Structure 1
Amino acid sequence: MNAPLRRVGVVVMVLFALLFLNLNYRQVVKADAYRTDSHNRRVQTAEYERPRGKIADAKGTVLADAQSTGNSLKYLRTYPLKEEYAHVLGYKPVTPMVATGLERLNNDFLVGTSDKQAADRIARLFTGKEPAGGNVLLTISKATQDTAYQALGNNRLKAKSGAVVAMDPSTGAILAEVSLPSYDPNLLSTHDTSAARANYNTLNNDPAKPLLNRAVSEVFPPGSTFKIITSAAAMTADSSLTPDSVVPGGEFYKPPQVSDFQIKNAHTGVCPDQITLKQALTVSCNTVFARMGVERIGADKLKSMAQAFGFEQEPRFIEDQDRNYCGVVASRTGPMTAGSDNRVDPPAVAQSSIGQREVKMSPLQGAMIAATVANGGKQMRPYVVDRLQNSDLSIADHTEPKTLRTPISADVARELQDMMFSVVTADDGTGKSARIPGLQVGGKTGTAQDGEDAEDHGWFIGFALKDGKPIVSVAVFLQNAGKGGSAEAARISGLVMKAYADEKGIR
């Protein structure tokens, strides 16, 4: 055999070897992945052969159900409460679209193929019953979610966009998660795939961005709510600094290192030249906190305290650590430097200390900050799935609360509570709209600039205690609400926290 023929023979043999390896790879290594791929039509048909498990709130109210169709896809995923829970649940569409949120995270359990249901499947081999999907039971409080959704949607300033997150400070359980504008997930779960795709395109192209979960997946400038972080940094760095310490205030603050920059207060006459730290937080004195950031704390310690509270890290739900299907994003402090040498920039530090410049925070992070203060300095990892329930109603799994971090001492937490109480209880407090009879309510308002041509955002983060024990924390965000946004956010916060307390019989 001559050389050219030998070379052709070798090439053919190599190609056959590669083909053989590829076939084995696909049939052995990738077989399970192909078998379970949601785009596999056989997998999809098998999923719809039996009813998908329910998703329910803490009271058992069904939020996602399965409805018999009589078609080849025998069951249709339905969402009885439509827009109210869309961002909590996600949605389960028919291929080629992909499930999102809790529907995607818990898909195997909802269709009955999870490893956690192995015992249930074995038992059914002996009974002869068909395999069944399991149920997912959430931590969401119906009264709290209802109030948050209604109060946010009917806010007095007619803001169209915003979010509410409420949580149990002692466990991290999410009690309410609302984002507006919202959407009807039934539009995306329909078996008419052409209609589902068209509906998705309409929602995705809507300038109001209803598919975005503003509660956990978006960040915004937090304004003066960030003064809690600044206060924590200052009192941690200097143990002699207390809520009753007298600090310099004034109408304007100009860092000593610069001559062409100054910060002023939102309202004149509220911040005298000398003022206590508690009163400065009560009336939200910008000049006090800007000065503290530059002259007492510094960029490094300010950023470190923000990171200790969770900034720069995604506060993923306990049950969603690996893949983050719920889309939780990290809050950011941004750089506080200038120039090619990245030197610390005093104006940047001053602005960051009052929650402006490039500081960005999610409503989830805001609720976690308030929860940490309420819980004596201990921050719990958030979670929204309470239990996984087999089809026979036995429990397959239960979420155990987990401590995430302890950013501040119990002493600093008590001092911050004292200051945040004053924001709500004092006659000149910016958060007095959040008062709830019978409960100790603390919080912090925030008004955040959003560029020269947009209205300011309104914020409130806070908590309610009963006999010193944490009951609920909350963050309310009103996007581009304009004048009075923070006061309205405080009012909504009071309604949301009261709804949870009333549901629990706490008065």
Structure 2
Amino acid sequence: MNRPIRAVSIFCMMLFLALMVNVTYLQFWHAKDLNEDPHNARVAEAAFSRQRGAILTGEGRDQITLARSKDFDDQYKYLRVYPKPYMYANVTGFLTLGSQTGIEHSQNTVLSGEDPRLFVTRLIDLAQNQSNKGGNVLLTLDPAAQEAAYDALLSTVGPDGEGSVVAIEPKTGRILAMVSLPSYDPNELATHDFGASEQTYARLDDDDKEPLVNRAIQTRLFPGSTFKIVTAAAAIENGLYNADDEVPSGAFWQTPGTSGSSNVIDNEGRTGCSPEEIPFRTAMAQSCNTAFAKMAVELGPEKMREQAEKFGFNSDYLSDLAPQAQSVYPKSATDAEGDDVELNDAQTAQTGFGQYEVQATPLQMAMVAAALANRGTLMRPYLVEEVQSAEYETLETTDPEELRPAVSPSTADQVTELMVETVDNGTAYPAAIPGVSVAGKTGTAQRGVPGLPPYGWFVSFAPAEDAEVAVAVMIQEAPGKEIAGGQLGGPIAKAVMEAILND
């Protein structure tokens, strides 16, 4: 064989080997990635044409269906239907050709039937020459609590309002209610009229009120005075004060190292805060800014940050619904030269009552309340109760998981006493339930922008001595109403707590 023919032969052999390597790589090593690629139209259409499992919540006869697939006479065979769209949309999310959000996304492998736990089911379907059916997902949400939260929040903020409610079972971390307003109808996105679906998505995505955002886990705002329970916990946990002590207060306080009226902390007219020293119970019940600002400075930013992080700030913790915004206790400040430095006294003072750069989601503040209600133990919050086969057989149940001790039982008991005082004789009285001991705290957080109304917050749990539910309410916008955490948030929290206690 002459040299040119030999060279061509070797070149062709190399091309053949490269082709074999590429085919082998695509069919074996890269097949999973290709199948999961959202741009793979064939895979997306095959998944969209499958009988997807149901999303359920509730127990026994109270169980309801939040999402299901019904027979449909077109090439895709099934249409995704959401029977209670607005009340649950920000939890269930929606399914479209090639994409999912909410539980539809986080539990997609179960709902689509591709999860390894459904392997036996797939084998049976194959043996019976039936199409692969998806598994079901049972959520932790309590239908009565969810309805109470949705109805109370909607009636408070109105159809143009914005806000969120989260309720947690303190001993387990089960999320009992998760509401976000404004909401939307996922049925309009799941339609097989893809042009209409795209138009609906574009409209919702362009809406300034962001209805597609789950405010419970994706919106973080200044928590305002609800953060005072974190400051109180830090002060008691570090031996600075006890619940029965007198604490420094005062009508006004010029924060150390500052000058000018912009750095003066006051109590917004609450005269019970004016003495230089007041009972700790009064400081909490009357929500005295000066008292908690001074506590925070006495503790220092490191201890304040450490306590906040024990409650869940600066971390992720919800594993079965995404995306989640981290709640923040600032790790540093920026000096005049642009370098990262520790918070100074003025900044630390502001964090003591949930301002400066402290940011929290409603879920985070519900977790703070739940940890105190659980005598200091923080449980991981979760939404998925069970994974089931298409025939409703339980394949896996979520076990409650302890994240960490946030505070000692003694500290939790003392903060609870302060919060009960706040409901019985203080600003949180709108959450009082006859015959039930309720612990609560109000919050009205300034936005830092002149002329704009504040944010309203409310956190609570009940019964205070052995809590079954902890609640956080966040009111972002309530057109036509004066926003105050106690007046607006308290009745919402009360409605949710009563729904659980009377269930």
TM-score (norm 1): 0.91
Question: Partner residue of 1:60?
Answer: 63
> In the alignment, residue 267 of structure 2 is paired with which amino acid?
N
1:336–1:348 contact (8 Å) kept in structure 2: no
1:306–1:333 contact (8 Å) kept in structure 2: yes
- Whole-angstrom CA distance in 2 between matches of 1:125 and 1:18: 36
1:255–1:262 contact (8 Å) kept in structure 2: yes
Partner deviation per Cα, 1:325-374 (whole Å, 9 max, x = no partner): 52122100125545246254211111111100111000000000000000
Question: Partner residue of 2:463?
Answer: 465
Partner deviation per Cα, 1:28-69 (whole Å, 9 max, x = no partner): 211233245454444344334442111111132011011211
- Whole-angstrom CA distance in 2 between matches of 1:125 and 1:212: 39
Within the candidate set 262, 269, 278, 1:267 is matched to 269
Say whether residues 1:195 and 2:189 are aligned partners.
no
- Whole-angstrom CA distance in 1 between matches of 2:267 and 2:4: 86
Partner deviation per Cα, 1:360-414 (whole Å, 9 max, x = no partner): 0000000000000000000100111101111222111111100011110000000
2:316–2:324 contact (8 Å) kept in structure 1: yes
Superposition map of 1:206-221 within 5 A: 206-221=207-222
Greater shift, 480-489 or 173-182, is seen at 480-489
1:381–1:401 contact (8 Å) kept in structure 2: yes
Within the candidate set 59, 66, 85, 2:88 is matched to 85
Structure 2 vs 1, CA of residues 67 and 37 (structure 1 numbering), >3 Å: closer, same or farther?
A: same
> In the alignment, residue 281 of structure 2 is paired with which amino acid?
K
Structure 2 vs 1, CA of residues 8 and 231 (structure 1 numbering), >3 Å: closer, same or farther?
A: farther
SS in 1 for 2:167: strand
TM-score (norm 2): 0.91
Question: Partner residue of 2:386?
Answer: 387
Structure 2 vs 1, CA of residues 338 and 72 (structure 1 numbering), >3 Å: closer, same or farther?
A: closer
- Whole-angstrom CA distance in 1 between matches of 2:67 and 2:45: 19
Superposition map of 1:277-296 within 5 A: 277-294=280-297, 296=298
Question: Partner residue of 1:314?
Answer: 316
Q: CA deviation at 1:259?
A: 3.4
Partner deviation per Cα, 1:402-432 (whole Å, 9 max, x = no partner): 0011110000000000000011111xx1110
Greater shift, 105-114 or 188-197, is seen at 105-114
1:166–1:472 contact (8 Å) kept in structure 2: yes
1:147–1:495 contact (8 Å) kept in structure 2: yes
Percentage identity across paired residues of the two chains: 38
- Whole-angstrom CA distance in 2 between matches of 1:358 and 1:67: 48
Question: Partner residue of 2:433?
Answer: 436
Say whether residues 1:498 and 2:491 are aligned partners.
no
Unaligned runs of 5+ in 1: none
Within the candidate set 453, 467, 473, 2:451 is matched to 453
Q: CA deviation at 1:113?
A: 2.4
Superposition map of 1:106-505 within 5 A: 106-124=107-125, 129-155=130-156, 160-238=161-239, 241-260=241-260, 261-271=263-273, 272-294=275-297, 296-317=298-319, 320=320, 325-335=321-331, 337-339=333-335, 340=337, 342-426=341-425, 429-450=426-447, 451-465=449-463, 468-481=465-478, 483-487=482-486, 488-503=488-503
Q: CA deviation at 1:13?
A: 7.5
Partner deviation per Cα, 1:51-110 (whole Å, 9 max, x = no partner): 211111113201101121111110100111111101011111113xx1111111222221
Q: CA deviation at 1:266?
A: 1.8
Q: CA deviation at 1:24?
A: 2.9
SS in 2 for 1:209: coil
RMSD: 2.5
2:231–2:352 contact (8 Å) kept in structure 1: yes
- Whole-angstrom CA distance in 1 between matches of 2:333 and 2:229: 22
Greater shift, 299-308 or 105-114, is seen at 105-114
- Whole-angstrom CA distance in 2 between matches of 1:157 and 1:264: 32
Unaligned runs of 5+ in 2: none
Structure 2 vs 1, CA of residues 212 and 83 (structure 1 numbering), >3 Å: closer, same or farther?
A: same
Q: Which runs of 4+ in 1 moved over 6 A?
A: 1-16, 156-159
> In the alignment, residue 259 of structure 1 is paired with which amino acid?
S
Structure 2 vs 1, CA of residues 258 and 36 (structure 1 numbering), >3 Å: closer, same or farther?
A: closer
1:299–1:336 contact (8 Å) kept in structure 2: no
Q: CA deviation at 1:189?
A: 0.8
Matched length = 490
Within the candidate set 52, 67, 70, 2:73 is matched to 70
Q: CA deviation at 1:465?
A: 1.5
- Whole-angstrom CA distance in 2 between matches of 1:256 and 1:217: 35
> In the alignment, residue 96 of structure 2 is paired with which amino acid?
P
Q: CA deviation at 1:156?
A: 6.2
> In the alignment, residue 298 of structure 1 is paired with which amino acid?
G
> In the alignment, residue 68 of structure 2 is paired with which amino acid?
D
- Whole-angstrom CA distance in 1 between matches of 2:252 and 2:3: 89
